[in-house]
Structure formats: C-alpha cells, structure tokens
Amino acid sequence: MIQMKKYIFSFIFFSISIVVLSQSVVITEIDQYLSKYDNTDEPGFVVGIIQNGNFNYKKAFGLASIENNVSLNPSHKFRIASSSKQFTAACIFLLVEQNKISLDDDVRKYLMDFPDYGYKISVANLIYHTSGLRDYTLLHYLQGHDDDYSYSELNLYELLKQQTELEFTPGTNFNYSNSGYYLLSRIVKNVTGKTLREFAQENLFFPLEMKNTFFLDNHKEVIANRTFGYNKTKAEFEILMSQNDIVGDGGIITTLDDLYKWDQHFYSNKLNVSSYNQLMITPGKLLDGSNIPYAGGLYIRKYKGLELQTHSGYYGGYKSIIMRFPERKTSIIILANNSKISPVRMGPKIADIVLKDFLKETQNIKRKPRLQATFIPVKINSMANSILGKYYCKEINTEYEFVNEGGELFVNVNGLKQYPVSQLKGEYYIDDLFKIVIINSEENKGVLKFRLNYELTTGFLFEKRLN
C-alpha cells in the first residue's frame, strides 16, 4: 500500500513537472516572438493569455506615456475601439431578456424621427451589420475629416438622418457598419432613460466586478492609470486622441484583468439570464437563411479547425484584439497604444504557439497573383476641363472643388483635404477609391451632376454650383 502511494505520488509529480516544463517552453517561445516588438522607448502593448480559467501569460511592453516616460504595466487602462461592440450587443440582449425590446422590432419604434427607407430596419439588423446603413466613418472621410475630428452626438445623428439611400435591402447582405452600433446606444437610452454608460455599469460591469471598465462618453474626463494613444508620422510620435463622446460602436476603456472577468463570464451564467450567453455567440442570418460570420459584437470563425470568437479594434492611436477559443478554454488579449503595432497579426501567431498541439495544418492554396490596378493621374484635357468647378452634396453637407494643379486634376474637399483624381480604364476616381459617375453635362456648362460610388456605398449626388 505504501509502495502504491509512492508510485502514485511519483506519477503525479512527474506529470506536473511535464506540464510546468511545457508551459515554460511556451512562455519562452512567446517571449522570443514578442521581443521584436519590444521597444522600451516607444508606446507599446500588453498581452494576456488565459487558459482554463487562469492567466498563463500577462506582460507589458513599451511606454504608457512618452512625455512622462511611464512604462506600461498590465494594469494600465486602454481604449479598445471596435472591440467594444460586444459590450453594446450584450446590453441589447439584456434588454431583450428583460422583455423591454425585441430583436425583430423596427428601429423606428425607438428612433421615431429616423428616416423611413421603405423597408423595415430591425434591431437585429443593427447588431449583425445587415441594415444597409452607410458607415458614418466613411461619411466623415468623404467630408475630409480625420479620426480626431471633433463632432457631437447630435451632429452624427443628423448626418445619418440626411442619408437618402441604403446600401442594400435590410437583411439581404452583410456589410460592417459603425452607424448601426452607434444607433444601438441611442436605443438603449430611449428605452431605459439611461445612457449606455449608465446601463452597462449597472447591468454588466457591476455584477461582473469589472471595476475599471466603462464607456467613455466624456473625452475630457480625467482617468487614473490610463494610456495615451500614439501615431508615428515619419520619425516622430504624436498623440492621437479622440475628440468626441460617441459610444456604442466603440468607446470602452478597460484593462487586462477586467477583460479576464469578461472572458470568464462566457463560461458561466453569472449575469443570471437564460439565453443571453447563447445570443452573444450565435451568428445572425440573412433573409435567405444563409449564415453570416457575426454574432453579438463578435466574429464567429474557424481558425485551423478550432472555433474562434473574436473582434479587433483600431481608433485614435489604440489597437486591440480579443480572441477566444472556447473548445480549449483559451483566450488571447492584446491591447496597444501604438498605431504601428498590429494585434491582428500578433494574435494568430501567439495562438499558433499556445495551441500548436490542437490546431490543424491548413493546406496552402496557391492563388493566382492578384493583378494590381494601375491608376494614372488625370491630365487636364477637354474631359477633365469640363469637371472643373465647385459641386455640393446635400447628404454629407460637403463641397468638392475640382482644380487644375500643375496640369493635373485634383479635388479640394470642404477646404480641408486635397485628393488627386486618377483614371482607370477610362473612368475617374478620387483618391483611387471613389468612382465618379457623371450623370448630367452640357456642352457650354460642363459637368452639372455626378454621383460618387464606393463598393456597396453608392449614390452620393453632387450638383454644380453655378453662381
């Protein structure tokens, strides 16, 4: 009996030693991989790896603040940009559980002054990016604004209400739109009388004990232990901070430790609601019944044979990725305050190290090289000359002025930006992205009207100013 106990003890000790050694090897491999990104005199990132309910890896690299030479540590607070969408979706699903809204409800039930496009846009359409609403970040780009453009919530809502067309009939396509998640924040407020920040605090963050997480709806707020977001231009870093208070599509401030608590709640029913967890990870469907890769603010995909629940974010000098492999109870979290760091590249590389015994080798499919479109500058000729002048688009309240700069065609946008006009297969493009479709011209007056199209976003009508 004593001999048997010794044998069992020796076996357990040997097994534990193998596990500890294996984890040590994995940690060493991760350290080696991340060392190439570890610049102690630059803004950096934090990494957390959760396995079976515990952090197996939690480290910080680089600076939280260049000005004050403050090194990052795992407890620093970061903005996580679009990775915030899962928290917004969670608030909506909690309201569904409370029987205060239905996913099938028309959004105009809660946003009564929102335009009627002739089709019902449901709450579910906003969550699953199947609404057809134009992405407001694209609208701002067309207006000539950068990421740090300062605008109010009222400005944004009015801009969305000015849009006269949808990209597609709701429910017939999937196209990522920040506009939908911003509108979800308004729905929460109109239904509950509380801001998204207040509702999330009471119904998510307080019960989950996420004491350092909130929707930042006041960009002037003083936040202890926060990081600053940086962007590198040429040889210098500059602070790239949000100047607005928009939440829903982004806006979460959080830490690694709080995201650990968020991660673990997917394996429990700590919020004590019946179908909430399943709603969060169930992909939406199109009207034809086909699945889309998006659930409650999370992409649902396969990564080398394992299910992956994930989202990333990039805004205002911050980048993030949250990757969850539920079958292995493994999650990888990377939060960065340096725009040149790429969590979406680093995350899968770390997964390959941590889960190498469980991932399937993917077959390398040889694809034909993609032909690179060759845009050429538009030289001033009779055609280019006919479009010179000022044009106005009511939907985005923006003036475009086409000018001759050194014999080539350029467009000035609201006096804020200047983009080159290029040509591809006889058609004109602004900034190699936006196709100019001329719909009305006269011999003596030149081009009078054109539409500006970008992928699914079409129909921006510009009319010439004749006075």
User: Are 298 and 430 in the same domain?
Assistant: no
Last residue of a domain, one of 354, 388, 406: 354
Q: With respect to residue 9, please indicate whether it lies within any of the assigned structural domains.
A: yes
Q: Is residue 261 a contact partner of residue 319, using CB atoms and an 8 Å limit? A: no
User: Are 253 and 291 in the same domain?
Assistant: yes
**How many domains are contained in the chain?**
3
CA distance 285 to 271: 26
Question: What pLDDT score does 2 carry?
Answer: 58
User: Are 278 and 327 in the same domain?
Assistant: yes
Residue 20: pLDDT band with limits 50, 70, 90: very low
Question: What pLDDT score does 262 carry?
Answer: 98
Question: What pLDDT score does 16 carry?
Answer: 43
In this prediction, residues 38-56 reach a mean pLDDT of 96
SS3 345: helix
CATH code: domain of residue 432: 2.40.128.50
Q: With respect to residue 68, please indicate whether it lies within any of the assigned structural domains.
A: no
Residue 23: pLDDT band with limits 50, 70, 90: confident
**At what angle are helices 343-354 and 2-34 packed, to 10 degrees?**
160
Question: What pLDDT score does 289 carry?
Answer: 97
Question: What pLDDT score does 22 carry?
Answer: 61
User: Are 383 and 350 in the same domain?
Assistant: no
Question: What pLDDT score does 443 carry?
Answer: 81
User: Are 97 and 132 in the same domain?
Assistant: yes
Q: With respect to residue 303, please indicate whether it lies within any of the assigned structural domains.
A: yes
User: Are 164 and 228 in the same domain?
Assistant: yes
User: Are 348 and 386 in the same domain?
Assistant: no
SS3 23: helix
Q: With respect to residue 143, please indicate whether it lies within any of the assigned structural domains.
A: yes
CA distance 173 to 284: 11
Q: With respect to residue 131, please indicate whether it lies within any of the assigned structural domains.
A: yes
Q: What is the mean pLDDT of the chain?
A: 92
Q: With respect to residue 181, please indicate whether it lies within any of the assigned structural domains.
A: yes
Residue 3: pLDDT band with limits 50, 70, 90: low
In this prediction, residues 443-460 reach a mean pLDDT of 89
Helix extents (H) in 232-335 = 256-265, 276-281
CA distance 144 to 133: 20
Question: What pLDDT score does 441 carry?
Answer: 87
* Domain containing residue 402: 376-464
User: Are 225 and 334 in the same domain?
Assistant: yes
Q: With respect to residue 383, please indicate whether it lies within any of the assigned structural domains.
A: yes
User: Are 21 and 148 in the same domain?
Assistant: no
User: Are 235 and 170 in the same domain?
Assistant: yes
Distances (CA, A) of 465 to 112, 392, 393: 34, 7, 10
CA distance 313 to 335: 9
pLDDT of 47 over the 90 cut: yes
Last residue of a domain, one of 322, 354, 386: 354
Task: List, in sequence order, every beta strand (DSSP E) within 6-97.
Answer: 45-51, 54-61, 63-65, 70-71, 78-79
Q: With respect to residue 285, please indicate whether it lies within any of the assigned structural domains.
A: yes
User: Are 12 and 113 in the same domain?
Assistant: no
User: Are 339 and 429 in the same domain?
Assistant: no
CATH code: domain of residue 285: 3.40.710.10
Question: Tokens 């990494």 appear where?
Answer: 47
Residue 25: pLDDT band with limits 50, 70, 90: confident
